[in-house]
């Protein structure tokens, strides 16, 4: 429960601190709308210009990474009994999952959870220093793909 509470509180902290990444996510430009809304609407079936969609996913991943970094600071600040390395591995997996969302057009494309896989978690970075919002390393992509419902990959 504490793990999830810290994870979810990061959005409030981000908004409260008026973090540029948080507010940039809500504006790509006047014509294209808000990045998070674009991603959500696209996942629900609305089509967008490929460049707009790519930028929206980048901004969403950047916001998620910033949130996770802030959560790690809360863990430290309040000396919470949460394994920092495990938290970072789960957080990075979540951020990398956004690349697969973009590829499959599904929020949850997994047939089984990679978060429970020792192999996947071993590959995940154990800090938030890696720029997981920019690109997905081939090794991590290859480890996550077997968890994806193959029918979703064939549809693309």
| Cβ contact 82:4 at 8 Å | no
Please determine, for residue 30, whether its predicted confidence score (pLDDT) is greater than 50.
Answer: no
Predicted TM-score (pTM) of the model is: 0.84
C-alpha–C-alpha distance, residues 32 and 53, integer Å: 9
Averaged pLDDT, 11-34: 52
Q: How many domains does the chain have?
A: 1
Angle between helices 50-77 and 35-43 (to 10 degrees): 110
Please determine, for residue 116, whether its predicted confidence score (pLDDT) is greater than 70.
Answer: yes
What is the domain range of residue 48? Answer: 2-155
Averaged pLDDT, 12-20: 55
Burial of 151 from C-beta contacts in 10 A (0-12 / 13-18 / 19+)? exposed
Please determine, for residue 32, whether its predicted confidence score (pLDDT) is greater than 50.
Answer: no
Please determine, for residue 3, whether its predicted confidence score (pLDDT) is greater than 80.
Answer: no
Averaged pLDDT, 47-69: 92
Q: pLDDT, tens digit, for every residue of 61-86?
A: 988 898 899 899 999 999 999 999 99
């Amino acid at each position: 429960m504490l793990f999830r509470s810290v994870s979810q509180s990061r959005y409030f902290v981000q908004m409260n601190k008026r973090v540029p990444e948080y507010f940039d996510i809500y504006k790509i430009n006047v014509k294209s709308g808000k990045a998070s809304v674009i991603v959500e609407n696209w996942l629900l079936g609305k089509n967008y210009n490929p460049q707009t969609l790519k930028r929206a996913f980048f901004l969403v991943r950047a916001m998620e990474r910033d949130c996770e970094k802030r959560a790690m600071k809360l863990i430290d600040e309040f000396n919470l009994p949460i394994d920092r390395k495990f938290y970072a591995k789960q957080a990075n997996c979540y951020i990398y999952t956004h690349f697969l969302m973009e590829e499959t057009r599904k929020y949850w494309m997994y047939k089984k959870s990679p978060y429970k896989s020792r192999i996947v978690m071993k590959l995940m970075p154990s800090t938030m220093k890696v720029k997981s919002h920019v690109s997905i390393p081939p090794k991590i992509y290859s480890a996550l793909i077997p968890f994806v419902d193959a029918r979703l990959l064939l549809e693309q």
